[in-house]
Structure 1
């Protein structure tokens, strides 16, 4: 039984990449039968890994996005010959979002925050941006406070190696028992913690209250949830 929502939605992404092509023309382009393509579009069947790779190549789209619906923004395309030789680092998920062993085993949150213990990143991407994998973590955004820039269940790579606070940067903070994702604007008197949602109240933090806020890190990558 198919329980993964991203797999169920493959037919929608296939229809998107076909654009104006007819089923016949698209099938010929991918060297597949019309019946196979129609079955994919109806959700009756799903492609094998090799056929998924063929479709992605013919449509010039990301294999990852076609398979999962997750689009990696801002990451340059890497030559496929190099990808398979790259080391993969696994960065931890933010400690407050770690699943219990039972949740991780049963994928209880498959349609919400993925119940994963860590997240894979390619060595080449880390090297390009100069990030230390030991200083990174994954945070799954919740709610609509930072939309449209960051939506519900978007994945955020957080760099905990903070040298200084940069005005306008996006930061993950802890205050008492709360976790806050906010844009920090530096002022003469302290910080303004901002949201993109106009209905969210700006939080003013005077300098004498800085110690009450723990800055976990700043957002260095947004992984859009397009499922």
Structure 2
């Protein structure tokens, strides 16, 4: 979903400055379909404040992550205009309305005739990352998903999960057997980064990613391998700042048999 038009010079400005960004929704005969908050503020249905407009756009994109992205060269997020109500689009685009584009998964995998599939299933991004051995940093903002896995929206609702909080990685090694085996698929809730006793988390230390069960003890974290052949790791309080909790493992998918 990259745009061929260079928007690197566009930045968000406060409404009080009396200025807006160079419009990104038109460029000669080509219509650009991504806008930032300052371009939307004050149009039909939106407040004049960039800040409140930004919050409203963020809420609209909660369940449609493929319709928001960082604007290249800035810290601002931009949003596809199809997120906006019809009257707001018409105000922005001179009476035009743009329909929601297909997600990358739909474009590459699903025929248009199967678009209704997405009404029942959410597509969770999977990243080519293995945990339990050092394989680089898990920085979602700097990685492109290598694939998407489908999960029923009813299941997400039953578990209380928001689609935007979930990512998928893969396990490596035997330190968590028999709970997690080599190459098992792990669904990670990145919003749960304050570990609770007994749950399994993905941790990062320097460039190493690993998966362990967490236990709180006096003055330390105890990171436990379910495989008894591996000794627990005790992380003292003064060392804990060196570790990042990426998220909680909330689902494990595995193959059985040959």
TM-score normalised to the size of structure 1? 0.52
Judged with a 3 Å threshold, the aligned counterparts in structure 2 of structure 1 residues 135 and 167 are, in CA distance, closer, same or farther, namely same
1:205 Cα deviation after fit: 0.5
Q: Tell me the secondary structure at the aligned position of residue 208 of structure 1.
A: helix
229, 237, 241: which one pairs with 1:207? 237
Whether 1:134 and 2:164 are equivalent positions in the alignment is: yes
109, 117, 120: which one pairs with 1:87? 120
Q: Tell me the secondary structure at the aligned position of residue 191 of structure 1.
A: strand
Q: Please, which runs of 5 or more residues in structure 1 have no aligned partner?
A: 1-82, 98-114
Are the counterparts in 2 of residues 183 and 195 from structure 1 also a CA contact under 8 Å?
yes
In 2, the alpha carbon distance for the partners of 1:87 and 1:156 equals 21
1:163 Cα deviation after fit: 6.2
Q: Per-residue displacement from partner, 1:51-89 (whole Å, max 9, x unpaired)?
A: xxxxxxxxxxxxxxxxxxxxxxxxxxxxxxxx9684322
What residue number does 2:255 align with?
225
Judged with a 3 Å threshold, the aligned counterparts in structure 2 of structure 1 residues 180 and 85 are, in CA distance, closer, same or farther, namely closer
Are the counterparts in 1 of residues 193 and 247 from structure 2 also a CA contact under 8 Å?
no
1:141 Cα deviation after fit: 1.0
In 1, the alpha carbon distance for the partners of 2:178 and 2:234 equals 23
In 2, the alpha carbon distance for the partners of 1:175 and 1:167 equals 20
What residue number does 1:119 align with?
149
What residue number does 2:246 align with?
216
Q: Per-residue displacement from partner, 1:187-214 (whole Å, max 9, x unpaired)?
A: 1111011101222121110111111111
Query: Which residues of 2 match residues 75-224 of structure 1 at below 5 A?
Result: 86-94=119-127, 96=129, 116-162=146-192, 164-224=194-254
Judged with a 3 Å threshold, the aligned counterparts in structure 2 of structure 1 residues 136 and 173 are, in CA distance, closer, same or farther, namely same
Are the counterparts in 1 of residues 184 and 254 from structure 2 also a CA contact under 8 Å?
yes
Are the counterparts in 1 of residues 129 and 169 from structure 2 also a CA contact under 8 Å?
no
Are the counterparts in 2 of residues 159 and 217 from structure 1 also a CA contact under 8 Å?
yes
Judged with a 3 Å threshold, the aligned counterparts in structure 2 of structure 1 residues 163 and 197 are, in CA distance, closer, same or farther, namely closer
Q: Tell me the secondary structure at the aligned position of residue 158 of structure 1.
A: strand
1:136 Cα deviation after fit: 0.5
In 2, the alpha carbon distance for the partners of 1:216 and 1:170 equals 11
Query: Which residues of 2 match residues 3-42 of structure 1 at below 5 A?
Result: none
